[in-house]
Structure 1
Amino acid sequence: MRNKETYLVFVYGTLRKGGTNDHYLKKAKLISSSVWVKGELHDTGYGYPVLKERSSRRIVGELYEVTSGELTQLDYLEDFKPSRARNEYERVIRTVYMTDKTVEAFVYVEGERLTTCEQMIEENDWMVYQGGEMSRHRE
């Protein structure tokens, strides 16, 4: 996970470059913009996705090194509190696959409050899906 001062975080939705919340990571160090984790990506219907750990499909995203302060901000954004039972997202450690190696990193996954989101994103890529959604709305 790095050292006590920094942490690795995999992001797959609005926190990615070009996403609506990418400003949260503007000072974070981008490790790779071409990584993936296992899971299923679902549309919450609220303008952001959720990763469900149901399958071993490839969910594409980005890997960042963040400070403890940045991690606290991400926890707030993702409505995650370690001591609370019903979080929107849970922060877990998962294997992130890179071109030439794997690393362990924090990933925000489905919490109890997002279990009913069932619209799977076939593209497994939030940014590609959003591009398709936007063009469908213009038609």
Structure 2
Amino acid sequence: MAGLDLVFVYGTLRRGGTNHHWLDGAEWLGYHRTEPKFQMLDLGPYPGVVRPGTDAIVGELYRINALMLKRLDRLEDYPVLYTRTRIPTDHGHAWLYLYRCRDGSRYPRIRQGDWLACQHNQVS
């Protein structure tokens, strides 16, 4: 469909996340797990995904319009704090926001690649 993109979200934009309202009006396509080519970092109030790595990232897929993508770019401080890359999914290629980081070793790694599960375990 013209003017529509897919986006893969893995942190605060997921259902139950503090920024999920930014996806109001988007079409939820389901859950997705990436290929094991990344690593997820715990940046405190939100995660960052970097590559290379050996972990699969757990998240959700949405179909969004161009205006919503621009809004998400602002939220993610693209292209300063995050950049975007395309990843393969069952629905086609989707945007994934990659954290721009020179030294990921200074952040805790979320090895299971699931930000919401990690947050839930910290609260429990």
TM-score by length of 2: 0.88
Q: How does 1:1-80 map to 2 (within 5 A)?
A: 3-32=1-30, 34-38=31-35, 39-45=38-44, 47-80=45-78
After TM superposition, give the deviation of residue 117 of structure 1 in Å: 4.9
2:91 is equivalent to residue 89 of structure 1: no
Q: How does 1:99-118 map to 2 (within 5 A)?
A: 101=90, 103-112=92-101, 115=104, 117-118=106-107
Aligned residue identity for 2:32: V
8 Å CA contact 1:44–1:117 kept in 2: the answer is no
**Which segments of structure 1 move beyond 2 Å, counting only runs of 4 or more?**
112-118
Aligned residue pairs, count: 122
Q: Deviations over 1:94-130 (max 9, x none)?
A: 223xxxx363110001214785653101221011000
Q: CA RMSD in A?
A: 1.8
In structure 2, C-alpha distance between the alignment counterparts of 1:58 and 1:113, rounded to whole Å: 21
After TM superposition, give the deviation of residue 52 of structure 1 in Å: 1.1
| Greater Rg over alpha carbons, structure | 1
After TM superposition, give the deviation of residue 40 of structure 1 in Å: 1.0
Identity over aligned pairs, percent: 34
Q: Deviations over 1:42-100 (max 9, x none)?
A: 1012x10001112232111000000111101100000004xxxxx1110111223xxxx
- Local SS of the residue matching 2:88: strand
Stretches of structure 2 lacking an aligned partner (at least 5 in a row)? none
- Local SS of the residue matching 1:64: strand
Aligned residue identity for 1:132: N
Stretches of structure 1 lacking an aligned partner (at least 5 in a row)? 82-86
